[in-house]
Amino acid sequence: MKEIILIKNGELVLKGLNRSTFESMLMKTIRRRLHDLGKVSIRSAQSTIYIEPVDEEFDFEEACERVRKIFGIAAFSRCAALNKDMKEILSVTPSYVSSALSNAKTFKVIAKRSDKAFPFTSPEIAREVGGAILSKMPHLKVDVNSPDITVLVEIRDYAAYVHAGQIQGAGGLPVGTGGKATILISGGIDSPVAAYRMAKRGLILNAVHFASPPYTGPLAEKKVKTLLSKVAVYSGDIRLGIVPFTQIQEAIAENCKEEYFTLIMRRMMMRIAERIAMDTGSKALITGESLGQVASQTLPALAVTDVVTKEIPVLRPLIGMDKEEIITISRKIDAFETSILPYEDCCTVFTPKHPRTRPTLEECAKAEEVFDFEPLIEKAINETVYSRITKDGEA
């Protein structure tokens, strides 16, 4: 008996004439994610992607775990691929699905016959397979309305495929179909979740992190790289730029009114991130801001920071989410425990006691124009250090 993985494309079926492009990108991602597990054949037919091991060395268990985390896959099934022979189907199916049915009380069989040359109709297949299962597992009962487990038998072009239900995939769109964007990554809970959510919409991710030594240390940078590696499990590799931000923050503290410290700092970050993003081919910035969560995330505060990005849009996937919703996703992607490690990031340096929550553009611009920040911005961009983050850490 041969075992394969059948993949359902989900949202890709809505893409009309562009569907083949999206499917091709998804298959390319699957090949890249599975390449080190052994030889495998990947093909597409009848709105389904087939992953078929070519040799016995292929790590099937690990393949299923990786497939579960690939964006663009709505669901997948671990299947027995059988000859289109009714005797073989009736012989193999009960033993193949026995583990899935061992703790169930009820089941039903659904048969789908896309190959109309097969000499049994779908109802006949379902009835015969159901009988074979009951003969081996008499503790079960058939429930066609709300069974504990549904066994599917699909008679397709090359084989008959048997599986006991689907495994939920990561959903979304294949990474790369939406272009490229740059995430402003801190060491907190929000920005890794924002990165994950935008990768789920098909974006290739770059990242920038602002470091302020000696106020922030190497452990803070290590934390950020660990967080990005959690995202990279889903998104693929991420190019990270570490921006030296100390001199800019010190200049803000020495020259600007305290109540505007955070706003001016955010404006500097957005200016720098936009230039780096454009230099690396990104078409948007991504932030982890949620409306009203902190003083710099009120509508007026967001307005005065957005205005400095003139060439590309700013995406805020968490803008309408509350903290519990964000934490739920952070836990899902295994980032939460790292995010709450107590290492300082530059956003907590020189925090004003009473930050301005309802600033106007004119006020903020006036508070900022007391010092010429442009030479420091250029210096920070030129001294940015780049690395590549994979699911296993820094490459």
CA-to-CA dists, residue 90 to 2, 104, 107, 109, angstroms: 16, 20, 16, 12
Q: How confident is the model at residue 204 (pLDDT cuts 50, 70, 90)?
A: very high
Q: What is the pTM of this model?
A: 0.89
pLDDT band of residue 13 (cuts 50, 70, 90) is low
> Given this model, what pLDDT does residue 51 score?
94
Rounded average pLDDT over 220-246: 96
Q: Is the pLDDT of residue 12 over 70?
A: no
What is the pLDDT, as a whole number, of residue 180?
Answer: 97
pLDDT band per the 50, 70, 90 thresholds, residue 15: low
Between 109-113, 165-169, 237-241, the lowest mean confidence (pLDDT) is in: 165-169
**Is the pLDDT confidence value at 192 over 80?**
yes
Predicted confidence at residue 58, as pLDDT, reads 87
| Range 336-343 average pLDDT | 90
**Residue 314 above 90 pLDDT?**
yes
Least confident of 138-142, 314-318, 346-350: 346-350
Model pLDDT for residues 58-88, shown as the tens digit of each residue = 899 999 999 999 999 999 999 999 999 999 9
Four-CA torsion 20, 26, 29, 30, nearest 10 degrees? -110
Q: How many beta carbons lie within 10 A of that of residue 116, not counting itself?
A: 7
Peptide bond before 119: cis, by omega within 30 degrees of 0? no
Question: 108, 142 in Cβ contact below 8 A?
Answer: yes
